[in-house]
Amino acid sequence: MRDIRVNRRGFFSGATVALGAALPEGAEAGAATGVEDRSSRIRITDAVPHLCRDRVFLRVDTNLGISGWGEIKGVVPTVAAELARSMLTLLRGENPTRIEHLWQTLYRAERNQRGGAFMLHCIAGYDMALWDITGKLWGVPVYRLLGGAVRDKLRAYPSTTAIKVGVGVKGFGADPADIESMLEPIRKAREKVGPKGTVMFDAHSSVPPATLRQLAAGMEPYAVRFIEEPAVPGNMEVFKQLRAAIKVPLATGERDRTLWGILPYLTDGIVDFVQPDCGYTGGISQMRKIAAIAEAYYTPIVPHCTQSYLGMTASFHAAFNAPLFMIHEAYDDALWAQVIKPHWKKSADGFVTLPEGTGLCVDVDEVALKRVASDPTYRYQWRGPGRHPDGAVADY
Ligand SMILES: [Mg+2]
């Protein structure tokens, strides 16, 4: 069992013995490497990507026997595993508690990959693991390292009080029946949660602007909290035009990476909520920066999340620390519940308790992980594009 939790007494007594052979003599070259404190002698020794279905669970090991976990999703898993192995060459022997320094090391290591999904999703996996290690080393949950929780509980959906409905691919232009088919689930959701509940609508970037303007006018009586992904990322002018034409609040950001990806939505006043995904945007380290720039624009974060309880919990830590936050996406999944045991609870009405424990406050069952990963009936496949009724490829 490598994923041990170390109390302070155990750390000090074990560290002295373990470090004698592991560390070179004298101070190292490089920023802040000569600083001596409780965290100065821990080093990254290995990183093991565990391929499991459509994702990779990454375990980062250290010379002190403390391991941290991260999740990489949204990249072909064999590619993600190879990228993670390759990135280890930049991290081996480094102090895992220098999280920001190591994040920058990975991000700026290859200018022609910088900012891309493959790079950022893998960095996110490492980032989560480094925060996990650091919290375990210090014996505190990650949210305390971030400056502590600013709320006692975290609102999440779906729940009995908050429902998000969405649409698939829509053709260009809409007839009354098309609009009605999209309004119907919104109406039902509002009836279900009542006037005190929250209804959200995900356009999935798949509702063309002309149709979305018609639809948005129709949804006004149902007090929809926001329209998510009102347009395909890439052309801010389209977002601005929709912003000017639609009264319902807008939200986006799940496919935008780093604070630089989110920033234009804020500076141009395009959205009312930003939706960073911890696993896509670059991990906890980027989540906290996005929360900070969003705070400057009085814009709450509404984190997107389709990760397992591992990546989800990483995102929770950042959200517990974010001053402006509204609601977190969080789906229960029986499959991942076999592998990841999170140490928080969610009530039926959608409130998540503070994570308890150290690091990310999740346990990874490596036996269950291997069992789920070895399912012979599962084959990874690209999701494939959406299709218009006439067979043409569509956005999704
Ligand atoms: Mg979405």
Question: What predicted TM-score, i.e. pTM, was given to this entire model?
Answer: 0.91
Query: What digits encode the pLDDT tens for the residues 110-125?
Result: 999 999 999 999 999 9
3-state secondary structure of 106: helix
The CATH class that applies to domain 153-360 reads alpha beta
Residue 28 above 90 pLDDT? no
Give the pLDDT of residue 180.
Answer: 95
Query: What digits encode the pLDDT tens for the residues 248-281?
Result: 999 999 999 999 999 999 999 999 999 999 999 9
Query: What digits encode the pLDDT tens for the residues 171-216?
Result: 788 899 999 999 999 999 999 999 999 999 999 999 999 999 999 9
- CA gap 53, 381 in Å, rounded: 10
Q: What's the token pair of residue 252?
A: 């986006």
Give the pLDDT of residue 16.
Answer: 36
- CA gap 275, 284 in Å, rounded: 14
Residue 54 above 50 pLDDT? yes
DSSP 23: S
Distance 202 CA to ligand 1 centre (A): 6
Residue 334 above 70 pLDDT? yes
Distance 346 CA to ligand 1 centre (A): 21
Element (H, E) at 63: none
- CA gap 287, 236 in Å, rounded: 22
Element (H, E) at 137: helix 117-138
3-state secondary structure of 233: coil
Could you give phi then psi for residue 177, rounded to 5 degrees? -65, -35
Burial 91-104 (b: 16+ CB within 10 A, else e): beebbbbbbeebbe
**Catalytic (active-site) positions:** 204, 304
Strand order in the sheet with 153-157: 328-329, 153-157, 351-353
Distance 229 CA to ligand 1 centre (A): 6
Distance 106 CA to ligand 1 centre (A): 27
Q: For residue 133, which of 92, 107, 84, 99 has the smallest C-alpha distance?
A: 99
| Alpha-carbon distances, residue 169 vs 118, 165, 386 (angstroms) | 25, 14, 6
Distance 205 CA to ligand 1 centre (A): 8
Give the pLDDT of residue 198.
Answer: 98
Give the pLDDT of residue 136.
Answer: 98
CB atoms within 10 A of CB 191: 11
Give the pLDDT of residue 29.
Answer: 58
Write down the mean pLDDT value for the chain: 92
CB atoms within 10 A of CB 357: 18
Distance 165 CA to ligand 1 centre (A): 10
Structural domain spans, the chain: 153-360
- CA gap 7, 108 in Å, rounded: 35
Distance 251 CA to ligand 1 centre (A): 9
Give strand pairing partners of 164: 200
Distance 143 CA to ligand 1 centre (A): 25
CA angle 284, 290, 294 (to 5 degrees): 145
Residue 23 above 60 pLDDT? no
